[in-house]
Amino acid sequence: MTKHMLAVAAAGALMISGIALGTAHAATPAAHSSMATVKINAENGSKVSGTAVFDYSSRTNITTVSLRVTGLKAMTVHPAHIHLGSGCLSNGPVVYTFRPLSSSKMMMTEAGNNGIMRASLSFRGSFSGKKYYINVHTGPTLATPAYAKPIACGALSSMM
């Protein structure tokens, strides 16, 4: 009878450890993410350039876009947007606007940083398969054609 009890106890222990191991090693689906870097090129005779990084996480279903632009005069304001369209000349509608940490809708360079401007934005969904381009405008507003003139642009569609 002692052997029988030991056998039952051993079988029970194996069953319990098997269940515990099965639970401990349960597979969880991996989050899918994708990333693309877009080169921002000078437009209309400016010396402005930079990069934009599109980073999508399927876990959150959010795309974050980080924009870094150089070659601007310090303490200047420049509107920047993501437009819908296949390239910089497509004149597509604005779909997302970069907003700095201030309440302004514009991006302002900082004094003493050699005209570097950084901004980011996020939107729901993936950028994959979309045709977007980023414009940085003369500024400080878009109120006149001269202010709205692009000084830098880069197309996501050319990266895909």
Q: Where are the domains of the chain?
A: 33-159
The fold of 33-159 is Immunoglobulin-like (2.60.40)
Please say if the pLDDT value at position 127 is more than 80. Answer: yes
Taking the model in full, what pTM does it have? Answer: 0.73
Please say if the pLDDT value at position 18 is more than 90. Answer: no
Q: Which are the contacts of 76, defined by CB distance < 8 A and separation ≥ 6?
A: 108, 109, 115, 139, 140
Q: What's the mean pLDDT in 68-83?
A: 88
pLDDT digits (tens, 9 = 90+) for 20-51: 444 444 444 456 689 999 999 999 999 999 99
Q: What's the mean pLDDT in 110-127?
A: 82
pLDDT bin (cut points 50, 70, 90) of residue 114 is low
Q: What's the mean pLDDT in 97-103?
A: 56
Distance from C-alpha of 126 to C-alpha of 110, rounded to nearest angstrom? 31
Q: Tokens 């090129």 sit at which residue?
A: 41
